[in-house]
Amino acid sequence: SQKIEQNSEALNIQEGKTATLTCNYTNYSPAYLQWYRQDPGRGPVFLLLIRENEKEKRKERLKVTFDTTLKQSLFHITASQPADSATYLCALDNAGNMLTFGGGTRLMVKP
């Protein structure tokens, strides 16, 4: 069966460090992968999209990698700040025009 797995355990890091979040998938062949941020009681906010032919994408302090051989995406936040604390969701296209989301990883950045 198809699965998108994100670490369900909260990730706690110190301010200024790099946060690395993982998204693993099985039985998918996505053409692209997206990352979103969700704050409590709010809708997700789009962060980055990476296509299958792209190895890496950057946006300010954010970096996403996409390894279709390992079936894995890594999401990095450099120089993390307490304001980066949120739940981060990865999402894959589901052989059509719809996105399927992982369970999300909660990031806590401590000052």
Partner 1 sequence: GAVVSQHPSRVICKSGTSVKIECRSLDFQATTMFWYRQFPKQSLMLMATSNEGSKATYEQGVEKDKFLINHASLTLSTLTVTSAHPEDSSFYICSAPGGSTGSSNQPQHFGDGTRLSIL
* Contact residues for partner 1, defined by CB under 8 A: 31-32, 34, 36, 41-46, 49, 89, 91, 93, 96-104
CB of 93 to partner 1, least distance (A): 6
Question: With respect to partner 1, which residue has the nearer C-beta, 41 or 111?
Answer: 41
CB of 16 to partner 1, least distance (A): 28
The C-alpha atoms of residue 105 and residue 89 are separated, in whole angstroms, by 7
Question: With respect to partner 1, which residue has the nearer C-beta, 4 or 19?
Answer: 4
CB of 61 to partner 1, least distance (A): 18
The C-alpha atoms of residue 89 and residue 84 are separated, in whole angstroms, by 13
The C-alpha atoms of residue 33 and residue 105 are separated, in whole angstroms, by 16
Beta-carbon contacts of residue 106 (< 8 Å; ≥ 6 apart)? 10, 11, 86, 87, 88
36: DSSP letter: E
CB of 3 to partner 1, least distance (A): 12
- Is the CB of residue 88 less than 8 Å from the CB of residue 33? no
Question: With respect to partner 1, which residue has the nearer C-beta, 17 or 59?
Answer: 59
